[in-house]
Chain A
Amino acid sequence: MMNEELKNLISELLPTAVFEEGNEWLGVNVEPQDWLAFAQQLSNNDLLKFDSLFCLTCVDWKTHLTMVYHLRSTHFRHHLVVKSKLDRNKAEIETVSHIWRTAEFHEREVYEMFGVNFLNHPDLRLLILPDGWEGKNPLRKDFEDPVNMIKL
């Protein structure tokens, strides 16, 4: 499906969606509270069939965090990038690990690196960082640790 058709279909499903064009793939901004219902529609809708979440990450914009979900349909071969703005001090969003199983590990990584709390995640704890790192989030822009220095 072309970006234009995708856009029409998605604006029917979620009238509050804000589109972002100009990149290779269509981008959609959704509110965190709309994300779970929207994700279910993306995966179940017969015309969309987004069955593969191939990249899940987060970007720290200093004023807020943005979750970025890259979705692909292995059936129709179309792509969609979903973004959701989160409050930096109270970063919370629903998990999608029951829709796309790959999200379970990726969300754990974002949880420890950015401090995003995924609601209803089955097993939300540190994956890569050692015990005792809760609360310090290395990939946030204000992370400074003279002992465990990362910045080159």
Chain B
Amino acid sequence: MYRTTDILTSSTSGDMVINVGPQHPATHGVLHLVITLNGETIKKIEPHLGYIHRSIEKMCESLTYRQFIYVTSRMDYLSAHINNHACALCVEKGLQIEVPPRAQVVRVILDELTRIASHELWWGAMAMDLGAFTPFFHAFREREMINEIMEETCGARLTMNYIVPGGVMMDIHPNFQKKIKEFIVLYKQKINEYHELVTGNVIFENRMKNIGTLTAEQVISYGCSGPVARGSGVKSDIRKLYPYEIYDKLDFEEALETGGDSYARYLIRMREMEQSIKIIEQLVDNIPDGDFQAKTKAVLKLPKGEFYTSVETARGELGVYIVSEGGTTPYRIKFRSPGFSNLSILNDMVKGGKIGDLIAAMGTLDLVIPDIDR
């Protein structure tokens, strides 16, 4: 992946080529960036991918419609539950399965908890990239509570695999509601601490404002979604635009900022966490009784055709495109992962800027490498 020719050609012009990664703490995974520098100014930045490519799309072609969902937990592992959700929705769309209300509510609660957990990790890691170590521990302390809720109900902390076509795998744990309420009470105190530590801090503000500015046109053309798009004022929340499950009945706002810089994207994620809390508050006491899983056939066969669904993960729009030939396994699956499109804007975003600002700009893209490589 690392091409010697690139270095030879550019070194004659007086530019310097440096490699960031594949093992670099600020790339959060095995992302390899080849950066061409002129002094301290970035002339070109080129991502080299594939260090964690497992060809999940090809694997899915030989897995049944019940099995392939579990592989997708390994794509964007911070939104594992939401990935599972996207796949289950696509299969349910093909088979026209009605999901019982209890399962829908539980799915949405866990989606939003996943979103908070993912943003918490991003917040801690982002602050660490910019040189502050304390926020990381604060974020992980609260994230641990979410992991415990997940562990009790889903049986796993990171790759939940809790969703099956037609509902959820098992009923919720008796402690589910109690623990979530405890979490909400605690979280509402802690969010103020987060803002005190980072948001209003003059060092962070100076490092994030006017860095990595993106216009709305750029964002749309590059297919960016999620907080990256909303930071530039583009309405892109799938939960609002193309509602799935019960999102159209819930009261929440789509966070929008117009700055387009790193600070705007930072604020979006902070506000999204508060909105997620708002959603969970509406649902936690109103989990309907009834089945947690619809009755489905043991062997699922999608009718011949094409099915596309998209959901809002913590990083943006995840699309699942299934081409079926009527068999028990998909003929072709494409995952439109949010990270892949968000990464493609990186060169345009930091070109002409200083190398010192690279991490402050890239950090707010919230890249998860297995999601990009798949």
A residues adjacent to B (C-beta < 8 A): 22-25, 51-55, 57, 59-60, 68, 70, 74, 77, 81, 100-102, 104-106, 109, 127-131, 138-139, 143, 150-152
Residue in B53, B59, B235, B336 whose CB lies within 8 Å of A128? B53
- Of chain A, the residue at the smallest CB distance from B218 is A101
Contact A138 B58 (CB under 8 A): yes
Q: Are B336 and A55 in contact (CB under 8 A)?
A: yes
**Cβ-defined contact, A138 with B55, below 8 A:** yes
Interface string of B328-372 (1 = CB under 8 A from A): 000110101000110111001000000000000000000000000
What DSSP secondary structure best describes chain A's contact surface?
Answer: loop
B334:A55 contact, CB within 8 angstroms = yes
**A102 touching B59 by the CB < 8 A rule?**
no
Cα–Cα distance between A25 and B306 once the two chains are bound (Å): 10
Contact call B344/A24, Cβ cutoff below 8 A? no
Cβ-defined contact, A74 with B234, below 8 A: yes
Bound-complex Cα distance A74 to B224 (A): 12
Among residues of B, the one whose C-beta sits closest to the C-beta of A148 is B55
Q: Is the CB of B220 within 8 A of A52?
A: yes
**Alpha-carbon distance A81/B297, docked complex (angstroms):** 31
Set of chain B residues within 8 Å of A151, measured between Cβ atoms: 58-59, 61-62
B260 at the interface (CB under 8 A from A): no
- Shortest CB-to-CB span from A96 to chain B, Å, is 11
**Structural contact, B58 and A23, CB atoms closer than 8 A:** no
Residues in B lying within 8 Å of A, measured CB to CB: 1, 3, 49-50, 53, 55, 57-59, 61-63, 218, 220-223, 225, 234-236, 241, 305-306, 308, 317, 319, 321, 323, 331-332, 334, 336, 340-341, 343-345, 348, 373
Q: A52-B220, A102-B223, A104-B344 are in contact. Are A57 and B49 (CB under 8 A)?
A: no
**What 6 A-B pairs are tightest by C-beta distance, nearest first?**
A102-B223, A128-B50, A105-B344, A57-B334, A55-B336, A101-B221
**B53–A129 CB distance below 8 A:** yes
Q: Is the CB of B308 within 8 A of A55?
A: yes
Chain B residues, CB < 8 A from A59? 323, 331-332
CB closest residue in chain B, given A73: B220
Chain A residues with Cβ under 8 A from B343's Cβ?
105
Contact in complex: A152, B62 (CB < 8 Å): yes
Distance from B182 Cβ to chain A, minimum over Cβ atoms (Å): 39
Q: List 8 A-B contacts (CB under 8 A).
A: A22-B305, A54-B341, A57-B334, A70-B319, A105-B341, A106-B340, A128-B49, A139-B58
Q: Given contact pairs A54-B317, A81-B306, A127-B50, enumerate 20 new A-B contacts (beta carbons under 8 Å).
A: A54-B341, A55-B334, A57-B334, A59-B323, A59-B331, A68-B321, A68-B334, A70-B319, A74-B235, A74-B236, A100-B221, A102-B221, A109-B340, A128-B50, A138-B58, A139-B57, A151-B58, A151-B59, A151-B62, A152-B62
A74 and B55 form a contact (CB under 8 A):
no
> Would you give the shortest CB distance from A139 to chain B, in whole angstroms?
6
Report the bound CA distance from A104 to B3 in whole Å: 20
Which B residues are in CB contact (< 8 Å) with A74?
220, 234-236
Given contacts A74-B234, A104-B344, A151-B62, contact A54 B223 (CB under 8 A): yes
Most buried by B among A53, A54, A100: A54
Contact A51–B306 (Cβ < 8 Å)? no
| Separation of A59 and B305 alpha carbons in the complex (Å) | 13
